[in-house]
Structure 1
Amino acid sequence: MPDEMTLEQLSRYTGEPEERLREWRSRGVIGTDGDRLTPRDLDRVRLVQLGLRHGISLETMVEANRSQRLIDRYVEMLPEPSERTYSLAEAAETAGLDLDVARAMWKNAGLASQQGEELRDEDIEAFRAFKTYSDAGFPLEALAEGTRVFADSLSRVAEMESKLFHFYVHERLKAQGLSGDELIRVTDAAGEMSRPLLEPTLLWFHRKAWEKAIREDLVMHMAEEAGLLQASELPGQLQRAVVFIDLASFTPMTEAMGDVQAAHVLDRFSTIVRESTNAWDGRLVKQIGDAFMLVFPDAPSAVACCLEIKSRVAREPQFPALRAGIHWGSLLYRDGDYVGSNVNIASRLANDAERHQILVTPEVRREARDLPDVEFVRLGKRNLKGLTSSFELFE
């Protein structure tokens, strides 16, 4: 991409009419580099477009940039633009990657809507990585799945980084009475200290998670070799214990106690669930409000973990009672999640459980029957909402 752009080029890249861009230029939100338009103005236009879609007026953005340099500071945080841009076909050809694979990766990563088909040098390097993955034997469906997980997970990480800085640094400084140039100076200094640490921190967490994942994968291989686990019939098919666990009556409690106090309870519950899950070699798959989905390589660990969480929750002041459902069976690993009928059974068990109750299926009872000091009580057959079959249940 050239160092300078014409108004016509900027209009073509962004979809904004030239007349509107002239107005934005006259208001000082683009074209701030002397009289020139540069690739940085692409980022300025995209930020203004996003603000307008969110109901923020142009006047508000102009004033925010005049008084706090918000648009200028946003652009300064971005990487330097590439010396040139490439079409998707050019980038795929340069990287030696099949165009259909490149298009699928670009779309699955959500970059088609974010960046269009203006690819940069860093995107070609990513395509070269995908080419190496493909050469190593990963089929297209595996690359597509991996791309979605990377994009979804790291989008959440990036959102966390920006939100925590806004809520706990910028807003706290404002609450302390800082404003104007002083607020900008202190906020920028905090950002300059923390931004270089983001990618090393991300790498550290990934290495720790990788160590755990590889260890678990090797144990699974050995269990399969020993005949302790059935061989998978489909890619991603695994034998696992799946748990759904939440706080009974959490919604009424929130209404009674208020959002802030309920958030404190949820923070404490989340800590308990995460600590116990890690202690029993489980994995937290997802959290939606006060509800958690967990998976374990064996049923005894799942039962022991739930009992530990139940015991710890019972000792907490002003806590609602816990309820949970556990099932053991074949699951399908897809996009960093687990799906299948056995997941649905565990979810329905948790929904059917009473306060202080952990419901399990006969499969869990059979697998965990040798747990010391644990007695399973037969409850008889029940129909679970949304499922056609009746189930023998235990608690």
Structure 2
Amino acid sequence: MARRVPGDGGHDAAGKNGGRARRAEGEPAGSANSAGSADSADSADSAGAARTSGSRAVGGAASAAGVGGIGGVGGIGGVAGPGAASGSGVARNGTAGGANGASGTPATPGTSSAAKRKAANGDELEALLLGGVPRHTAYEVCKAAGIPYDEARRYWRAMGFADVGQARAFTDADVDALLRLGGMPRSGLFTEDFAVQVARSMGQTTARLAEWQVDVLFDAFDTAGVGSEEMAEFGYRIGRRVLPELEELLVYVWRRQLAAAAGRVRQQLQEHAEGLQAVGFADLVSFTRLSRQLTEEELARLVSVFEANAADTVAYGGGRLIKTLGDEIMFAADSPARAARIALDLLASMRRTEAVPELRIGVAYGHVVQRNGDIYGTTVNLAARLTSLAEPDQIVVDPELADALADDASFALEPVGTRMVRGLGEIALTALTGG
């Protein structure tokens, strides 16, 4: 349950900020006040949306309180036009109504598009995404959570939050977050440094995720012809519709990934081979030259296709995509055969993809150090060096990986000579192909 900061005037929107969402912070999705209901007086009424009371819709909209609190836009298959009602076009049980995102009930006569945009402006969208209207200062949040300001600032910096001084930029959700992070060292089970590492790992991962999702959404708006003045309104309406589902999906994916990571560690401990990994790099050939020839849009599309294909191939092969570097990706696998198969599949996948240049791939096998989702060590450095030595459309592996694959008929290995590898001395290189 969300904590109330003393003196915040309650969870309803502040009187001087009338028209902001009255959804109580911490209120469960699917409740009468939040599940698809047009609960904001300004945003719902001025936008011409059907006003809901509890789960009963008035003005032609069906019952809006339903699965996961779905409400808002009339459909997810397309973007509704500016005249669509925010709460109408929603079928019973909260499922999306209307064909391909068709508009719901027409706007109330006399309601202008400018008034509707004002009702669902950037403040409404911010309050929706933050789970409430920002009304507290940093010191008020620290006092309510019982956390020293310096400790709270460590957590906020670790999560990647900018310093806002004593602006009223915080909600009750920030109190809950501080209570959870501060509760780790206070439980006696963890240190404050551990809590900071947890905050940093989540902050760095979700920052990129959020940027990616917002880029995808605004690209969709641009394709649909939504003007910049309407984007906040459309973002608010779509956010009302999908935010609870995205939140649940995020937790689901994280739990599955956590289980997979725990399983890998357990297997390594059982096999007494902790830290032994196969590491590979795949690099787009002539990317620098292409970056000068292509437009920004074409270059972004090329990188997006490359990263998407690589991520799918690595995941399908049972490996892990460690990082993407624009024209290069880094992956790892627990077994030499799995890493070799991923490398071969990466080459095959790019050959089938038009407008994507050839790849160079280098793979090495040995001990690595794992920290905060990344891996380090001589094996990683060697794999990177091998990639630069490979020819276009070629996979080069180190002696350890070649020895591990020597008896596997699924792969063919061909020595390509000895090279001086910077910082690592002379290395016998082997080209890998399918058996």
Q: If the length of structure 2 is used for normalisation, what is the TM-score?
A: 0.63
Bigger mean CA deviation after superposition, 68-77 or 359-368: 68-77
User: Residue 208 of structure 1 aligns with which residue?
Assistant: 253
User: Residue 121 of structure 2 aligns with which residue?
Assistant: 73
CA distance in 1, matches of 2:148, 2:138: 16
Deviation per residue, 1:300-333 (Å, 9 max, x gap): 1111100111123233344422111112222233
**Structure 1 residues 371, 102: closer, same or farther in 2, change over 3 A?**
farther
User: Residue 426 of structure 2 aligns with which residue?
Assistant: 390
Show the 5 A alignment for 1:1-395.
73-79=121-127, 80-81=132-133, 84-87=136-139, 91=142, 94-95=144-145, 97=147, 101-114=151-164, 120-134=171-185, 135=187, 137-170=189-222, 172-174=224-226, 184=230, 188-189=233-234, 191-227=236-272, 229-230=273-274, 238-256=275-293, 258-385=295-422, 387-395=423-431
- Listed as ranges, the gaps of 5+ residues in structure 2 are 1-5, 10-15, 19-113
Q: Which amino acid aligns with 2:191?
A: P
CA distance in 2, matches of 1:219, 1:337: 15
CA distance in 2, matches of 1:344, 1:327: 9
Deviation per residue, 1:247-304 (Å, 9 max, x gap): 2113323444544444444443333212211111111122122211112122211111
**Structure 1 residues 189, 120: closer, same or farther in 2, change over 3 A?**
closer
Deviation per residue, 1:168-216 (Å, 9 max, x gap): 2156325xxx79xxx73x8624631334413531431441242133134
Q: Which amino acid aligns with 2:350?
A: V
**Structure 1 residues 257, 368: closer, same or farther in 2, change over 3 A?**
same
Instruction: State the secondary structure of the residue aligned to 2:225.
Output: helix
**Structure 1 residues 286, 132: closer, same or farther in 2, change over 3 A?**
same
8 A contact 2:125–2:232 mirrored in 1: no
CA distance in 1, matches of 2:232, 2:151: 42
CA distance in 2, matches of 1:74, 1:190: 9
Aligned residues: 319
- Listed as ranges, the gaps of 5+ residues in structure 1 are 5-31, 35-65, 231-237
8 A contact 1:331–1:342 mirrored in 2: yes
Q: Which amino acid aligns with 2:177?
A: A
User: Residue 24 of structure 1 aligns with which residue?
Assistant: none
CA distance in 2, matches of 1:208, 1:165: 20
**Structure 1 residues 96, 297: closer, same or farther in 2, change over 3 A?**
farther
Greater fraction of residues in helix? 1
8 A contact 1:95–1:128 mirrored in 2: yes
8 A contact 1:285–1:294 mirrored in 2: yes
**Structure 1 residues 332, 68: closer, same or farther in 2, change over 3 A?**
farther
Q: If the length of structure 1 is used for normalisation, what is the TM-score?
A: 0.69
**Structure 1 residues 149, 361: closer, same or farther in 2, change over 3 A?**
same
Q: Which amino acid aligns with 2:268?
A: A
- CA shift for structure 1 position 374: 0.9
Q: Which amino acid aligns with 2:426?
A: S
Identity %: 22
